[in-house]
Amino acid sequence: MNSRKNLFIFSYMALPVSLYFVFVLVPYLGAMAISLTRWTGTSTLDAIEFRGLQSFQRILSDEKFWSALSHNLLVLIVMPICTLALALLFAALFTQGLKGAKFFRIVFFFPQVMSVAIVAIVWGFVFHPTMGILNGVLNLVAQAFGRAGSNFPWLGNVNTVLPSVISVAIWQAVGFYMVLFIAGMQGIPEELYEVSRIDGASAWVQFWSITIPLLWETIRTAVVFLTIAAMDMYTYVTILTNGSGGPSRAADVLATYMYQQAFGGGNNSNPFGYGTAIGVVLLLIILMLSALGLRVTRREVNEY
C-alpha cells in the first residue's frame, strides 16, 4: 500500500520538480559559475576566463553597489511596514459590515490585476511636473489658500524620486494583502469576538488580542513576499526613471545596477561576470533576509 502511495505521489511530483530543476536550479547554478569568470556575455564560451572571487572582491569596494543596496534597505523598511499597516486597516474596515465594502474591495484590489509596467507608466504621468495629476491637485489646493502653485519634479528631484517609487509599489501591493487578510479574518470564529465583547473588550483590544494573533501566520507569509519585492523594484525604478535610476542615481537599486553592469556597456571589462556576481549576492541577501524574517516572527501557532 505504501509503495503504491509513494508511486502515486512521485508521478504527480515528477513533472513540477523536473521543471523547477531545469528552469530554477540550473540557472542559479549557472549564474554562480559565471560569477567566477571573466566574460563579456557576447563572446563564445571558449573565451570565458576563470577569475575566481575577483568579482566579489570588486563588489566590496564598489561604492555604487553599496549605494544601491542602501536604497533597497530603505525600501525594505518602508514598504512592508506601510503595506501591512494599510492592508490590515482596510481589511478590518471591510469586514465590519461597512456600506459598499464589496465595491471598495474590488477597487482596492484592481491595481494588483494590472501589470507592474502599466502601473509604472500610469504613475509616471501622475508625477509629471507640468501635466501630472498630483501637481495639478496640489496647485488647486494652493490656489484655494491664496498661494502660488508650482511644477515640482517628483521623479526629477534627488530627495523625492525614491519615496515616489516606493509609494507606487505600496499602492499596487496593498490590495493583494488586503484581500489576503480579509480571507483570514473571515475564517476567525465570530464567537471569539462575542465573548470578548461580553467581557467589555473594545474593538481595538479585539483587533490586537484576537485578530492579529490568529492572522500571524498569514502576516509572516506576507513579510516574506514583501521582503522579496523590496529587494527587487527593478520594473518600478526602470520605467519611472526612464532607466536612469533618477537624478544622481538616487533611486538605483541592486536589480537595476546589476542590469547596468551586465548590459550597460561602459568601461566595465567584465560586464557579464560582474553583473552576474551582483545577482548572486542579491540572491543570497534575499535568502538571508527571508530566513531572518521567518525566524524573528516565529511564535506559537494559535488555534481555534
Q: What is the pLDDT along the chain (304 residues), one digit of tens a residue?
A: 567 777 777 778 888 888 988 988 898 888 899 888 888 777 777 677 888 888 899 999 999 999 999 999 999 999 999 999 999 999 988 888 777 788 888 888 888 889 999 999 999 999 998 888 998 888 888 888 878 778 889 999 999 999 999 999 999 999 999 999 999 888 888 888 888 888 888 888 888 888 888 899 899 999 999 999 999 999 999 999 998 888 989 999 999 999 988 887 655 677 888 889 999 999 999 999 988 888 887 766 555 5
Strand, coil or helix: 129: coil
Residue 304's pLDDT is 53
Residue 190's pLDDT is 84
Residue 131's pLDDT is 87
For the record, the C-alpha cell of 264 comes out as 550597460
For the record, the C-alpha cell of 211 comes out as 485578530
Total Cβ atoms within 10 A of residue 297:
14
Spatial distance between the Cα atoms of 147 and 133, rounded to a whole number of angstroms: 18
**Which architecture, in CATH terms, is 70-296?**
Orthogonal Bundle (1.10)
Spatial distance between the Cα atoms of 295 and 181, rounded to a whole number of angstroms: 21
Residue 245's pLDDT is 87
pTM: 0.88
Residue burial 51-78, b: 16+ Cβ < 10 Å; e: rest: beebbbebbeebeebebbbebbeebbeb
For the record, the C-alpha cell of 36 comes out as 567566477
Identity of residue 148: A
